[in-house]
Amino acid sequence: MEFKVVDINGKETGKSVKLNASVFGIEPNEHSIYLDVKQFLANARQGTHKSKERGEINRTTKKHHKQKGTGGARAGSMRSPIQRGGGTVFGPRPRNYGFKLNKKVKQLARRSALSMKAKGDALTVVENFTFEAPKTKSFLSVLSALGLNEKKSLFVVGDYDKNVYLSSRNLTGVKVVNCSELSTYDIMNASAVVMSEGAVEKVTAILS
């Protein structure tokens, strides 16, 4: 499978890059994508939720009212869950939501996600680029030239480029990552994926 390489102005360069079929042309495995995205979102949860139970409430343990003769139920403590301001029964406690996922499943998920984008005409390959200085205006011109103004886009670069990253940081719906940071969630969350030539080579080496 060959893709034409364009420059940041959206014009064809006359070059083409051959995408590895084992990475960009497989039959997508939707279940592996589901598992990888689920793990990504689970790992992002802080899990710091906490409510106090009756043993942690700082209230008096004095008997609320006498045991008999009131016509009401017995009440031995203001910490009781049935009292206003009392403890919570089986309330949330801090926990880790992360779970283990095999490396091969994660690789399959990323290959499946990239294959879906390639088959759906949502993948663009651009020649390697950089900016002289970090300017949001420069990145906006790239989005406009590639027709991505109204789309949620993911830019994958071969190596970390500070100027490119800072130029895109203030834009909503745009994310720039290098090959080592590429995740299935980012691929599936974007309407369009833009990869540099260097990124194609490195992603192929990592996933093939």
Indicate which CATH number applies to the domain containing 197.
3.40.1370.10
Question: Using CA atoms, how far apart are residues 152 and 135, in angstroms rounded to an integer?
Answer: 19
pLDDT digits (tens, 9 = 90+) for 186-200: 999 999 999 999 999
Side-chain-facing half-sphere of 125: CA atoms under 13 Å? 21
For residue 1, pLDDT beyond 80: no
Confidence of residue 108 (pLDDT cuts 50, 70, 90): very high
pLDDT above 90: percentage of residues in the chain: 72
Tell me which residue range forms the domain holding 76: 51-91
User: What is the pLDDT averaged over residues 144-165?
Assistant: 92
Domains in the chain, number = 2
Confidence of residue 61 (pLDDT cuts 50, 70, 90): confident
Residues 150 and 70 in one domain: no
User: What is the pLDDT averaged over residues 24-32?
Assistant: 95
Identity of the amino acid at 145: A
- Residue 12: the pLDDT is 86
Q: Which of 169, 172, 168, 170 is nearest to 141 (CA)?
A: 168
Radius of gyration of the chain (CA): 27
Helix (H, G, I), strand (E, B) or coil at 206: helix
Residues 36 and 138 in one domain: yes
For residue 105, pLDDT beyond 90: yes
Question: Using CA atoms, how far apart are residues 101 and 177, in angstroms rounded to an integer?
Answer: 22
**Summary mean pLDDT of the chain:** 92
Ranges assigned E (strand) in the chain: 2-6, 12-18, 123-126, 153-157, 174-178, 192-196
Q: Where does residue 105 fall: left (phi above 0), alpha (psi -120 to 50 degrees), or beta otherwise?
A: alpha
Confidence of residue 93 (pLDDT cuts 50, 70, 90): very high
Residues 28 and 110 in one domain: yes
- Residue 177: the pLDDT is 94
What pTM does this model have?
Answer: 0.83
Residues 144 and 108 in one domain: yes
Residues 40 and 137 in one domain: yes
End-to-end, the C-alpha distance of the chain in Å comes to 15
